[in-house]
Amino acid sequence: MAGMKAPPRLQSLVEEGLIDTVVRQLMSGKEAMVYVVRCGDETRCAKIYKEADQRSFRQAVDYTENRKVKNTRQARAMAKGTKFGRQASEAAWQSAEVDALYRLADAGVRVPQPHNFCDGVLLMELVTDAHGDAAPRLNDVDFTPEQARRHHATLITEVIRMLCAGIVHGDLSEFNILLAEDGPVIIDLPQAVDAAGNNHASRMLLRDVANLRNFFGRFAPDLLTIDYGNEMWDLYQRGVLYPETVLTGHFRRKTGPVDVGGVLREIDDASAEEAARRMRMAQS
């Protein structure tokens, strides 16, 4: 397999012997550039994180709320926005994906297997299709109604597993799920949030689940009537959600006084998120 000249950010990994050759660039996204690389007999991918000023996706406070950093000096610097603080924020942002990947892989969630993290580069499994080529994203594939229902069910199970592991993806959609030979694989986790420690986790989970329903509902309209998100979060909050939990798809909301201010904030947040989502789709 012929290679290409290693980009400067991958050169140190080549010198360390973590990568043998760089095969080709796989993609350039809003947060990172991804290369196909050879490591001994294996083909893997290397994700190079872009610097903060080169990324269109900002470290929104909703996502970074309650993220742990190593010491109080870092925390103070991050709050003040000093140069050191920005570097600390960047490191925390990158390690959030690495930490989430290892946690989810250990929990049996369908994510790429991480192998190493060095100098801002994440080395992980290359997800492939039946021909051994890089797997396509869901948004590049058409499905029969039966396929749509099957993949939707698979992914709902994965979201449950993630939630049981204490993680909400936070930006789950057809743009960051790959269709491997044996089914969907979830990718792109730098915005993953702690389900128990982030006040926005429930809203992000509901949006993730709604994105799945709306995408697969294009191919199987019967999915559009199902409400898994609220049911899932209710079970999680009550401590009775397990990886093997089977959802009904129906959730009866408790009636009571309406928090009008809370509803209006939700509407404002949803509008801002939809605008950001449209911008990301335009850049994809």
Does some domain include residue 1?
no
Residue 179 lies in a domain: yes
Mean pLDDT of 178-187: 97
**Residues 3-19, mean pLDDT to the nearest whole number:** 90
Most confident option among 29-38, 98-107, 256-265: 98-107
Whether 30 is in a domain gets the answer: yes
- C-alpha 247, offset from chain centre: 22
- Average of per-residue pLDDT across 116-124: 91
Give the pair of three-digit tokens for residue 139.
Answer: 């948004």
> What domain count does the chain have?
1
Whole-number pLDDT of residue 69: 44
Per-residue pLDDT at 55: 43
Q: Kindly state whether residue 86 falls inside one of the protein's structural domains.
A: yes
96 lies in some domain? yes
Name the more confident of 257 and 64: 257
**Across all residues in the chain, what is the average pLDDT?**
84
The pLDDT, as a whole number, for residue 180 is 97
Nearest by Cα to 19 from 36, 4, 33, 38: 38
* Structural domain that includes position 129: 9-283
Q: Which residue has the higher pLDDT, 12 or 57?
A: 12
How much is the average pLDDT of 38-50?
Answer: 93
CA–CA separation, 282 and 63 (whole Å): 22
Q: Which residues are the active-site residues?
A: 171, 188
Q: Quick one: pLDDT band at residue 179, thresholds 50, 70, 90?
A: very high
CATH number at residue 60: 1.10.510
pLDDT computed for residue 80 by the predictor: 55
pLDDT given for residue 87 in this prediction: 55
* Mean pLDDT value across residues 105-130: 94
94 falls within a domain: yes
pTM of the model: 0.78
Query: Is residue 239 over pLDDT 70?
Result: yes
For residue 3, the model assigns a pLDDT of 74
Residue 3 lies in a domain: no
